[in-house]
Amino acid sequence: MRKYSFIVLAFIMSLPINAQYSIPSATIPKRADVSINGITLNSRETAEKILGKDIPLVEKEGLPSASYYNKSRTEVLTIVLHHGATKNSFSEFRVRKAYLKEDIKIHQLNPLDNFVTGKGIRLGMSSTEVIKILGRECSEYVYIGNVYSLRYEIMNRDNSCNGQVEKDFVNTINQYYSEYRFEDGLLVEFAFGYLYS
């Protein structure tokens, strides 16, 4: 079974970026990302295909989650399950650099060199590269010293940022967010998904 999981993962990672989405990429707004290494938000099937059916969850910050290292143990992916969601249907993804000493149980995903979103965003990118992918429209940003944070939101209500694609995208949810933190101009942490209400 483990060998089969690695083969499936290798196949998914070889697909073109837009093919990794389980929903048509034309329905995903420019400023939204919905997958990471073949795991799609709120998709039990893609999570179980990559991580298996017995995903070891722990309660962290009030929500069940599981964390995984990349192959070199330099990055950590945390997947978050909202209360009331279908088993293994994760609503938020968070990626950050790994710490020398971690205070949580982290599992290993050996075949993955890096955690990469469906739109190609990964740690170490410049803010210019991320903005080129997601656009500058409707973003909020904050500078504090050498730290720069960039945030996008798509809400289930009318505003000047929401066209028809955005309205259709959040039709059944309250709010989508993505947040990117840069230090010295390079991406060191990011998160995206649906806010828990």
Mean pLDDT confidence for 148-159:
78
3-state secondary structure of 186: strand
Per-residue pLDDT band for 184 (boundaries 50, 70, 90) equals: very high
Banded pLDDT at 129 (limits 50, 70, 90): very high
Across the chain, the runs of DSSP E, i.e. the strands, are 35-36, 39-40, 58-60, 63-69, 75-80, 92-97, 106-108, 139-144, 147-155, 175-183, 186-194
**131-153 tens-digit pLDDT:** 999 988 778 888 888 899 999 88
Is residue 125 within 8 Å of residue 116, measured between CB atoms?
Answer: no
Compare 140 and 47 and report the one with higher pLDDT.
Answer: 47
The letter for the amino acid at 24 is: P
- Give the pLDDT confidence of 72-91 residue by residue, as tens digits: 989 999 999 998 889 999 99
**Model-level pTM?**
0.81
Q: Which of the two residues, 28 and 42, has the higher pLDDT score?
A: 42
